[in-house]
Amino acid sequence: MEQYGKILVIAMPIFLLLIVIEKIYGYSRGNDTAPLMDTVSSLNSGITNSVKDVLGISVSILSYEWMVSNLALLTIKNSVIIYIIAFFVIDFYGYWTHRWAHQINIFWNKHAIHHSSEEFNLSCALRQSISSFVNLFTFLLLPAAILGVPSMVISIVLPLHLFLQFWYHTRHIGKLGILEKVIVTPSHHRVHHAINKEYLDKNHGQIFIFWDKWFGTFQEELEAVPSVYGITRPAQTWNPIKINFQHLWLLCKDAWHAKSWKDKLRIWFMPTGWRPEGFEEKYPVEKIEDVYNFEKYNPTHSIKLRNWSIIQLFITLGFVSYMFSNIATIPLPNLFLYGAFIFLTIYSTTELMDTNPNGMFWEGFRILFGIGIIIYYQDWFGLLAISEWSNYILMIYFFISFFITLYFVKNEFPDDYSTQYSK
C-alpha cells in the first residue's frame, strides 16, 4: 500500500503532463479531442480509483500468495525471465477478465466507467473502477504460480502493466505498421472503445493484440467506419461515483421487477445488456440507437464554473498527493477517514459540474466532515508539522468553497438541470 502510493505520487504528474500536451497538440491542430469538463471528470475518476487501490478496498477469493505457495512445481531464480513470464501471464489474465467484463452483465458494472466518456483521449484511460470489491479471477494467474513466480514479482509487474495501457488512448496516433500485428495500438483500442455495431466487444487485449486474434475477438479499424465513443446506455453525468454503480442499480431494479425467480437469478450472468422479456417497453432505459445521431452529454457551464472545476481538481490532487506521500505516518483508521473525505470531495465537485442543485448539500456535508476532522484531531493528518498555519488555511478554503458553491447553485443552475444541455 505504501509503495504503491509512492509510485502514484510520481506517476500522477507524468500522466497529467501528457494529458496537457495532448490537449495543446489537438487544439493547435484544430482537432481538440479532450473537452475540458470531460477531461476533468476523467481525472476525478482516476483519483477515486487510485485512492480505492491504495486503501486496499478489495479482496481476492483465491490469493496468488496461496497459489504460489501450494501449487508451484518449479522454482525459477530471480532474473529477467521471471519478469517476462509474469508480464505475459498478467496480460493473458487481463485479456480474459476484460473480455468477461464486456460479456457478462454483473461484470460490466466494474468496467462501464472506463467506457463512459463519449470522447477518446489520454484522460479517459484514467476512468477506472471503484466498484470491484472482490477479485474472482486470480486463478488465471495459475501458469505463473506453477512456474514459481514470486508474489512480489507479480505485485511489481501489475502496476507497470496497468500504466503501459495509458499511451494508446488517443486519436492523434494513426496505424503503426508492423506493430499492429503484435501489440495493442491506438488504432486497435479506438475500435475497442467504439459503440458502432461493427466494433462492439472487440479487441480486449491490454498489451498484446494476438490474444484477440487467437480467440476470435479481433477487429481492425475501418476507414469507412469512423469510431463513435461511449456506452450505448449513456451515463449522462460527470460524477464518476454515480457512473460506477449505474449498471448495478439497473440490474437490482430489473431483478426486483422480474416476476420469475429464474429471471431474478439469471439476469446477473446473462450477456451484457440482457433484460427479461418486455422490460424495454415496461421499464424503458435510455439507449443510443443511432450512433451517428445522438446528443453528447454537455451541460451548459459558465467560464467561471469551468475555471472553478479546474481549481477544485488541482486542490483535490494536492490533498491526494499529501495522502499518498504520508501513508506510512497516517494510522490506518485515519487513512480511511482521509479516503472518505476525498470521495466526498469528488462527489461534491462533480455534482457541481453536472449543474445539479444537490451539489449544495454534498458540499455542505463535505465541509462539515473536513472541519470535524480538524476540530477532533486538532490537525490535518500531521500537516501541522509542516505548517503551523495549515488548520487556518484549510478552514479558509472550506468556507470559500462553500460560498462559491452557493453562488453557482443560486445564480447559474437551471431549475430542471437534467434537461439543460448545450448543443
Cβ partners under 8 Å of residue 379, min gap 6: 390, 391
Average pLDDT, the chain: 93
* C-alpha–C-alpha distance, residues 153 and 151, integer Å: 5
pLDDT value of position 1: 60
Q: What is the mean pLDDT of residues 254-262?
A: 95
Question: Which residue has better confidence, 350 or 78?
Answer: 350
pLDDT value of position 239: 98
pLDDT value of position 85: 94
Q: Which residue has the cell 467504439?
A: 194
Question: What confidence tier does 278 reach under pLDDT thresholds 50, 70, 90?
Answer: very high
Share of the chain above pLDDT 90, in %: 84
Report whether pLDDT(76) > 90. no
Report whether pLDDT(347) > 50. yes
* C-alpha–C-alpha distance, residues 73 and 147, integer Å: 6
Q: How far is CA 405 from the centre of its chain?
A: 25
pLDDT one-digit tens code per residue, 161-211 = 999 999 999 999 999 999 999 999 999 999 999 999 999 999 999 999 999
Q: What is the mean pLDDT of residues 205-228?
A: 97
Q: What is the mean pLDDT of residues 394-404?
A: 97
pLDDT one-digit tens code per residue, 107-146 = 999 999 999 999 999 999 999 999 888 888 899 999 999 9
Question: What confidence tier does 385 reach under pLDDT thresholds 50, 70, 90?
Answer: very high
* C-alpha–C-alpha distance, residues 353 and 50, integer Å: 21
Give strand pairing partners of 134: 59
Burial class (CB in 10 A: 0-12, 13-18, 19+), 392: exposed
Which triple of cell numbers denotes residue 376? 477532533
**φ/ψ of residue 60, rounded to 5:** -105, 130
* C-alpha–C-alpha distance, residues 204 and 235, integer Å: 22
Question: What confidence tier does 353 reach under pLDDT thresholds 50, 70, 90?
Answer: very high
pLDDT one-digit tens code per residue, 5-38 = 778 888 999 999 999 999 999 999 999 999 999 9
Q: How many CB atoms lie within 10 A of CB 264?
A: 15
Q: How many CB atoms lie within 10 A of CB 418?
A: 12
Q: How many CB atoms lie within 10 A of CB 35?
A: 17
pLDDT value of position 415: 62
Report whether pLDDT(350) > 90. yes
Round to the nearest angstrom and report the end-to-end CA distance of the chain: 44
Q: What is the mean pLDDT of residues 152-162?
A: 92
Question: Which residue has better confidence, 61 or 123?
Answer: 123
On whether the CB atoms of residues 59 and 133 are closer than 8 A, the answer is: yes
